[in-house]
Amino acid sequence: KNEVEQSPQNLTAQEGEFITINCSYSVGISALHWLQQHPGGGIVSLFMLSSGKKKHGRLIATINIQEKHSSLHITASHPRDSAVYICAAFSNTGNQFYFGTGTSLTVIP
C-alpha cells in the first residue's frame, strides 16, 4: 500500500494546454511537497504546502487537508515543462517522508 498516490502516471499534452496532476495521501501530514525531476535526473523543489494555494509563474499548487488531496496545475504548458513531477508528504508521525512514484509529463510542440 502506498501512502502517496499520484495520477496520472503518464501524461502527454499539446503546447499551451492546461495540465493537472493529482496527489492523494493517506497519512497525517504537516507539509506536502511538489518536486520536478528533469530527464537528466536533477530534482528541484517546486512548492511546499501546508494549506491553501501557492503560485509561481505558470505553476499553481493547491492542497485540501480535509480531503487529503493536492493538485499541481500548469497553465499554458510548454515543452520545457516536460519532466517527472513528484508529490511527497511529510508525516508528522515519526518524521517520515512518503513519495509518490511520479507523473511523467511530455509536452509536444
Partner 1 sequence: NAGVTQTPKFQVLKTGQSMTLQCAQDMNHNSMYWYRQDPGMGLRLIYYSASEGTTDKGEVPNGYNVSRLNKREFSLRLESAAPSQTSVYFCASSWELTDTQYFGPGTRLTVL
Nearer to partner 1, 77 or 88 (CB): 88
CB of 86 to partner 1, least distance (A): 7
Piece in contact with partner 1 (CB under 8 A), picked from 18-26, 58-66, 73-81, 85-93? 85-93
User: Residue 51, interface with partner 1 (CB under 8 A)?
Assistant: no
- Element counts in the chain: helices (H) and strands (E): 0, 11
Question: Dihedrals φ, ψ of 92, to 5°?
Answer: -80, 0
**Edge-to-edge strand list for the sheet holding 52-56:** 4-7, 19-25, 69-74, 59-64, 52-56
The binding site for partner 1 (CB under 8 A) comprises 30-31, 33, 35, 41-45, 48, 50, 86, 88, 90, 95-102
